Amino acid sequence: MPILVETRPGYRLITLNRPERLNALTVEMADALMAALDEAVAHPDCRAVLLTAAGRGFCAGQDLTAIVDAAPAEIGDLLDHYNPLIRKLHALPLPIVCAVNGVAAGAGANLALACDIVLAAQSASFVQAFARIGLIPDCGGTWFLPRLVGQAKARALAMLAEPLPAATAAEWGMIWQAVPDDRLMTEAQALTKRLAAGPTAAFALIKRAFDAAESNDLDAQLDIERDLQVAASGTPDHAEGVRAFLDKRPSAFTGRKS
Ligand code: T3D
């Protein structure tokens, strides 16, 4: 099984499961991951996703044993396959937390960056390993990196292909937090549970607003915010949040759209 999927109260825990290859990515793994994400979204009780990996690594990128002597057209076909996964992760209408338990290299690093909130173990690192094998960052790397850390750092990461320690990744704003190794899953699960109890519909709208901001000017973004805020204000969770505030009690969000 290239991935494991566990149903937890309110969320799905998805674990990449090829530890002997540092969870190197295969077409089979990408397909299984997409199916698990579709299932999570379709299930009304699932309100968040936590992605992590088995063993000492998170994901070593493309399984290189599968592309020895591959023709350029085959590499293109492969990416035609992986790109829908990155799009799905990034646009998922549920919050997705990524717990990076070890090295995240090549496409594995960018798989993590496609998630909403990335926590990493202190011992983990991020390597844009592509240039080491004469490739360019793919799976969204050339899009995520400059937006997260700026052009100067993004270019150096891509060209030098050196491991970036988790603590530096957090300091640079590439990820949310680096946490002690033995706290990673406890912290990631607590965060995911908290998101699973949140205003799910508003979270999906927040993601849409931030995505739109990547290409909008302020005028266009203010219009988007207005439209999305109208949608958010129509959800039961908005009414509940206001009532809870006035009643001086915690909100009991349901995540329902209407
Ligand atoms: O081109 C296209 O197909 C399109 C898509 C491209 C996307 C990409 O991701 S390109 C980048 C591919 N990834 C890499 O180039 C990284 C390759 N791996 C490494 O550089 C190192 O393994 C790490 C820096 C990630 C970790 O190093 P280390 O020393 O902790 O572990 P290791 O000993 O190198 O690896 C452990 C085992 O995993 C080892 O197998 P063995 O010797 O114990 O049988 C190693 O061969 C295997 N492994 C690691 N990475 C991959 C891999 N096997 C297949 N594919 C891998 N990517």
Distance 172 CA to ligand 1 centre (A): 25
Rounded to 5 degrees, what are φ and ψ at 56?
-90, -10
Distance 153 CA to ligand 1 centre (A): 23
Which pLDDT score, from 0 to 100, does residue 154 have?
98
Rounded to the nearest integer, the mean pLDDT of the chain is 98
Which pLDDT score, from 0 to 100, does residue 258 have?
86
Task: List the residue whose alpha carbon is closest to atom 55 of ligand 1.
Answer: 63
Cβ of residue 133 lying under 6 Å from some atom of ligand 1: yes
End-to-end CA distance of the chain: 37
Distance 22 CA to ligand 1 centre (A): 7
Residues 6+ apart with CB under 8 A from 184: 99, 101, 119, 120, 121
179-238 per-position pLDDT tens digit? 999 999 999 999 999 999 999 999 999 999 999 999 999 999 999 999 999 999 999 999
Residues 6+ apart with CB under 8 A from 15: 3, 4, 5, 6, 52, 53, 54
State what percent of residues in the chain have pLDDT above 90. Answer: 99
Pocket test for ligand 1, best of 23, 27, 64 (most atoms within 8 A of CB): 64
The pTM assigned to this predicted structure is 0.98
Whole-number Å distance between alpha carbons of 197 and 254: 7
